[in-house]
Amino acid sequence: MESKAGTTETRSNITASDGEQVAALESLQFTDEFHRLILAPTSDNVTSLTALLELPASRALELLHSPASAKLIAAPAPSFEALKGNFLFPSNTTLIDQAARSSVFAGGVNNTNNKSNAPETTSNNSTLNLEKAVKSEPAETESSQPLVSDPAVEKRNFKRKDHEKKAKDSTKKSKTAANDSSVGPEMLPYVHVRARRGEATDSHSLAERARREKINARMKLLQELVPGCNKISGTALVLDEIINHVQSLQNQVEFLSMRLAAVNPRIDFNLNSIFTTESGSLPDNKFPSMVMPLIWPEVQVNGNKQQHQQQWQFDALQQPVWGREVCNNYITPENSLLSYDSSANSATLHANQTENGAMKSEVVPTVRLVERLL
Partner 1 sequence: MMNTPQQVKNPSSSLKSRFITRFLGALTKITAEDPISSSSPTRIFQRYRRIKVASNKSMAYSVRSRRIWSRAMLSRFRSRRSAFSGRRSSVKTTNCTTSPPPALIKVTINEKKTAKGGLDMQTDELRELVPGGEAMDVCNLLDETAHYIKCLTTQVQVMRKIVDFYHLSK
CA angle 109, 114, 120 (to 5 degrees): 65
Q: How far is the CB of 95 from partner 1 (least distance, A)?
A: 27
From 82, 200, 215, 316, residue interacting with partner 1 (rule: CB under 8 A):
215
From 144, 233, 279, 306, residue interacting with partner 1 (rule: CB under 8 A):
279
Q: Which residues contact 144 (CB under 8 A, 6 or more apart)?
A: none
Q: Do the beta carbons of residue 34 and residue 88 sit within 8 Å?
A: no
- State yes or no: residue 314 binds partner 1 (CB under 8 A): yes
Lay out the site mask for partner 1 across 233-262 (x = CB under 8 A, - = otherwise).
-xxx--xx-xx-xxx-xxxxxx-xxxxxxx
CA angle 68, 49, 163 (to 5 degrees): 30
Q: Looking only at residues 174 through 213 of this chain, which bind partner 1 when binding is defined by CB under 8 A?
A: 211
- Give burial (CB, 10 Å; 0-12/13-18/19+) of 28: buried
- State yes or no: residue 301 binds partner 1 (CB under 8 A): no
Q: How far is the CB of 373 from partner 1 (least distance, A)?
A: 5
From 268, 304, 312, 358, residue interacting with partner 1 (rule: CB under 8 A):
268
**64 C-beta neighbours (distance < 10 Å), count:** 24
Q: How far apart are CA 365 and CA 342, in angstroms?
A: 18
- State yes or no: residue 225 binds partner 1 (CB under 8 A): yes
Q: Which CB, 14 or 178, lies closer to partner 1?
A: 14
- State yes or no: residue 317 binds partner 1 (CB under 8 A): no
Q: How far is the CB of 217 from partner 1 (least distance, A)?
A: 9
Q: How many residues bind partner 1 (CB under 8 A)?
A: 83
Q: How far is the CB of 74 from partner 1 (least distance, A)?
A: 16
Q: How far is the CB of 60 from partner 1 (least distance, A)?
A: 15
Contacts 24+ apart (CB under 8 A), 108-117: 108/57, 114/151, 114/185, 115/150, 115/151, 115/185, 116/150, 116/151, 116/154, 116/180
Q: Which CB, 152 or 217, lies closer to partner 1?
A: 217
- State yes or no: residue 265 binds partner 1 (CB under 8 A): yes
Q: Looking only at residues 3 through 32 of this chain, which bind partner 1 when binding is defined by CB under 8 A?
A: 17-19, 21-22, 25-26
Q: How far apart are CA 118 and CA 113, in angstroms?
A: 4
